[in-house]
Amino acid sequence: MEAEPPSSPSSSGPHACVVRPDLELLEDVLDQLEISSFRDSRGRLGTRWPCFSLFFTIDDQDDVFSARTIYDHFFSVDDKPELCAVLDEWNRDTTGLKVYSATDDDGSVIIVSEAMMRIDGGVTREQFAASTAIWLGNAGSFHLWLTQRLSLSGLAGEPF
């Protein structure tokens, strides 16, 4: 006997448990997780940790919920090839966070991680809260990995 395929959502409208996430809901989720947050000048909701800042956005036009983390390490352009090799190792060996380097206008190189989720059909509050908590945990886990890996490669980077 063949297994039944999962049923698709009804086309008559969203399920009662499905919500359309916004930054106010995200603030509620962060409050429930006992995480302080702030709004930056670009309208993003952010959290600050000892070694990184994490910014959340909800793009209504593209229906995407995303988290972008900026880590408190600065590198010179000369360090970029070796730094990219370290980041490639993370991207090759793990899933969940995409990490990359970015060069600021002043020429310093920073490390950024991103996670995103499509929300065009809405999500349950539980799914939204769980994704947020997982992304926060992943940002911290990556920072621990990065600190160890940079030490092994001899790339310390300048602190923020």
> Would you say residue 12 lies in a domain?
no
Nearest to 134 by CA among 92, 97, 91, 87: 97
Residue 110, number of CB atoms within 10 A of its CB: 18
Q: Is residue 105 in a domain? A: yes
Domain of residue 141: give its range: 18-159
- Summarize pLDDT for 35-85 with one digit per residue, the tens: 999 998 988 899 999 899 999 998 878 789 999 999 998 899 999 999 999
CATH number at residue 23: 3.30.1460.70
107-120 pLDDT, tens digit per residue, is 899 999 999 999 88
Residue 9 within a domain: no
Residue 1 within any structural domain of the chain: no
Question: Nearest-CA neighbor of 108 among 80, 88, 87, 81?
Answer: 80
Provide the number of structural domains found in the chain. 1
